[in-house]
Amino acid sequence: MEILLGTQEQKEKTKRKLDFFRKNPLSSIEPAIDGEVVTASNWLSSTQLNNIFDLYHSFSSQIPDSLASYWPSLDLDRTYIYNNDIEEIGGFYSPKSLGYLHIQDISIFSGCNPDIQETGQLLDFARAALHDALHRATFRSYICTHQRFPHRYQYGLNYRDEAGNTFTKTGIRDWDNRLINLNILMEGTIDIVVSDFLTPKIRDLCNECDKTNRIIQDIAHEVPDNYINDRQKYYYRSVLGPSREFIQHWKTDTWKHIIGPMLSGELSELDSHLIEESGGDISLDGSFKSAKFSYANL
């Protein structure tokens, strides 16, 4: 869900900026694109396309009715893939995988190394596509500024003011290890719900290809003996680990208390849950908010 804030004139100005970047989405990020990309609708075979859409519809069916209106259709013409990543495995943890870019409203993924069996390549893409669909569905509000790019004020659970200060205080886990950066919580929770969905479907898919098995194990969040690369190592230790700890400590329902507020932009459900579970000691404004952050005067 996406809304524009301010006067009608300001909303129209922000919309013109977004439309400009989305009309030719690759042109504004060319320096960050390392190689040639193609749309996923051209990269995938017809059989793979059918498999991806089947998985997407199956995932959509588990979304609570109260959130269904926020869930987008799968647009593979706005999903771009690098062919033949030369890394050992490539895919989700490749530096080339830029993920969902909200201003351009596109996703950019790296395809797996061509040595990876087709099953592994398809599963890695399915994981990335579902992951970024949740990012795309996450509530966003934009404020009109004099900067070239529209300013994203609210993104799901978190905010950033016009001075660049985020709502979540810096080093929040050092201050209280029961808490977490809200951007990290959103990222980790998205991957957790995607893993929970895909894991029962892939448990019996182990095969002779070690690299394919490592992708399967990663989707199932089985901590590896050797990481695919430093990005995976960071992800497990700094994103998935803290997110799971937060969810378990606060007895958090991932859909009701995290994904739901992310998609709707209404944070009272999470705030009330934390207040209740902590006996009133923990709240979003009282415990997470940085002293530097200022709410917009709208």
Evaluate whether 99 touches 108 at the Cβ level (below 8 Å).
Answer: yes
Cα separation, 179 vs 245, whole angstroms: 9
Cα separation, 100 vs 74, whole angstroms: 13
In this model, does residue 141 exceed pLDDT 80?
Answer: yes
State how far Cα 69 lies from the chain centre: 18
C-beta neighbour count of 278 within 10 angstroms: 14
Domain boundaries, the chain: 2-288
> Which two structure tokens, joined as six digits, stand for 69?
């209106």
The type of residue at 75 is D
pLDDT of residue 104: 96
Q: Is 105 exposed, middle or buried (0-12, 13-18, 19+ CB in 10 A)?
A: middle
pLDDT tens, residue by residue, 248-259: 999 999 999 999
pLDDT tens, residue by residue, 95-106: 889 999 999 999
> Which two structure tokens, joined as six digits, stand for 214?
């490592």
pLDDT tens, residue by residue, 79-129: 999 876 677 788 999 988 999 999 999 999 998 888 888 888 899 999 999
pLDDT of residue 65: 93
> Which two structure tokens, joined as six digits, stand for 291?
């002293």
DSSP E strand boundaries for the chain: 2-4, 37-39, 79-82, 99-101, 106-110, 140-143, 151-155, 158-159
pLDDT tens, residue by residue, 227-248: 888 899 999 999 999 999 999 9
